[in-house]
Amino acid sequence: MSKVRVLVGTRKGAFVLTSDGKREKWEVSGPHFAGWEMYHVKGSPADPNRLYASQSSGWFGQIIQRSDDGGKTWHQPGTPPGESPAPGPPRAESNKFVYDTSDESGKPLTTHQWYDGTQHPWEFKRVWHLEPSLTDPDTVYAGVEDAALFRSTDGGQNWKELSGLRGHGTGPKWQPGAGGMCLHTIILDPGNPQRIYIAISAAGAFRTDDGGKTWKPINHGLHSQYIPDPHAEVGHCVHHVAMNPSRPGVLFMQKHWDVMRSNDAGDSWQEISGNLPTDFGFVIDVHAHEPETIYVVPIKSDSEHFVPDGKLRVYRSRTGGNEWEALTNGLPQSNCYVNVLRDAMAVDSLDKCGVYFGTSGGQVYASADAGDSWAPIVRDLPAVLSVEVQTLS
């Protein structure tokens, strides 16, 4: 019997929601790491019991947590729980994210654009997104603020920057969005281990075809009125990018404004906003089995971060964009003013495909029929930052 495990990161802790394949009755465990901001929790595709979590705090900084038993117990990598602490140097520094300024890497750029247009040094703040390798449970990527990509190959014990991204040369034109200058999307190409896509607010999308050594901006076709050159190579506030693993060259993007699509691995983009009530939003995801079925949650505007008209509506396109239908069955259709953040939607791989999302109001909604109907798994969690799903056999 299949099982589903939903990993929820919130402003005040993490929660693990589990159900059988019917996805009707749910068990809720948590809060884990109560009181901490949990930006992201994600499981390894190569070992579903291996979970990584980003735990952070304005007071105490960044912590990386790992579970090797599906979320029952957690530890900081390199510092197992229950082991008597001993004097001496630590065996690992799982929360040490230090930007690479070595001669060997060419001393990547150390300033980016600040809100007022002046240059500002890179300062590590937190990990927004953890993306475990598709094949190795001990390899995991971290997208951080200020924007950079790190990789661990020892289960999260030590981290090294893939500095070719910041060394690309456009760094002084990158700038923070309202949430900070974050690298929030990491997509690993299942057919080509050398190819990785990432996205940064507000710089845009980038791709490497050599395992992270060199990167190219992939923003041709994006149009952003809030930068001096609306068609610039970088500077676009990309909110999220999604891909169906069966078609790695086809990408879907929710930008600050505009929903976009690329059929050529990001080399060019076309707008597919079509009949959406507003094309501002944060999340976008793709059906697990139908690569032309995509989901977004339109948000009213960049100055009013809640759903329009007081109605929580997921929009689904079965045609790869442009033609969208509102999905409302089971979702509040009056007096609702929540937001759905960029990493807070995910799909399972059961048949029918399950779709999940979490809101700034603390609700986690699930659909076991590809979006036709919805029900809340939980209603009153802290504000949800991220939702990931594991389909377990």
- Is 94 strand, coil or helix? coil
Residue 294 backbone phi and psi in degrees, to 5: -130, 160
The letter for the amino acid at 389 is V
What's the angle, vertex CA 353, arms to CA 358 and CA 346, rounded to 5?
Answer: 30
Residue 169 binds to other proteins (criterion: CB under 8 A): no
Please pick, from the candidates 20, 27, 29, 90, the single residue that binds other proteins as defined by CB under 8 A: 90
Which residues contact residue 86 at a Cβ distance below 8 angstroms, ignoring those fewer than 6 apart? none
Please pick, from the candidates 22, 27, 29, 60, the single residue that binds other proteins as defined by CB under 8 A: 60
Nearer to other proteins, 25 or 59 (CB): 59
- CA-CA distance, 252 to 241, in Å (whole number)? 6
The distance of closest approach from Cβ of residue 76 to other proteins in the complex, given in angstroms and rounded to an integer, is 5
The distance of closest approach from Cβ of residue 368 to other proteins in the complex, given in angstroms and rounded to an integer, is 36
Tokens representing 68 are 């090797």
Which residues make beta-bridge pairs with 265?
A: none
- CA-CA distance, 150 to 143, in Å (whole number)? 7
Residue 98 binds to other proteins (criterion: CB under 8 A): yes
CB 91 within 8 A of CB 152: no
297's enclosing H/E stretch is: strand 294-299
Please pick, from the candidates 24, 35, 231, 304, the single residue that binds other proteins as defined by CB under 8 A: 35
Please pick, from the candidates 36, 122, 252, 315, the single residue that binds other proteins as defined by CB under 8 A: 36
Nearer to other proteins, 13 or 361 (CB): 13
User: From the centroid of its chain, how far is CA 231?
Assistant: 25
Residue 63 binds to other proteins (criterion: CB under 8 A): yes
- CA-CA distance, 386 to 39, in Å (whole number)? 6
Residue 114 binds to other proteins (criterion: CB under 8 A): no
Cα dihedral 266, 270, 276, 279 sign: positive
The letter for the amino acid at 147 is A
The distance of closest approach from Cβ of residue 249 to other proteins in the complex, given in angstroms and rounded to an integer, is 39
Please pick, from the candidates 91, 107, 160, 247, the single residue that binds other proteins as defined by CB under 8 A: 91
Residue 360 binds to other proteins (criterion: CB under 8 A): no
Alpha helices in 129-274 (DSSP H): none
- Among 87-95, 328-336, 369-377, 382-390, the segment contacting other proteins (CB under 8 A): 87-95
Nearer to other proteins, 87 or 117 (CB): 87
Q: For the segment 132-151, give every residue that binds other proteins (CB under 8 A).
A: none
The distance of closest approach from Cβ of residue 36 to other proteins in the complex, given in angstroms and rounded to an integer, is 7
Residue 158 binds to other proteins (criterion: CB under 8 A): no
The distance of closest approach from Cβ of residue 92 to other proteins in the complex, given in angstroms and rounded to an integer, is 8
Nearer to other proteins, 52 or 252 (CB): 52
CA distances from 273 to 184, 225, 267, 279, 322 (A): 22, 16, 19, 6, 5
Nearer to other proteins, 1 or 86 (CB): 86
The distance of closest approach from Cβ of residue 100 to other proteins in the complex, given in angstroms and rounded to an integer, is 12
**Interaction site with other proteins (CB under 8 A):** 35-36, 57-63, 76, 78-79, 81-82, 85-93, 95-96, 98
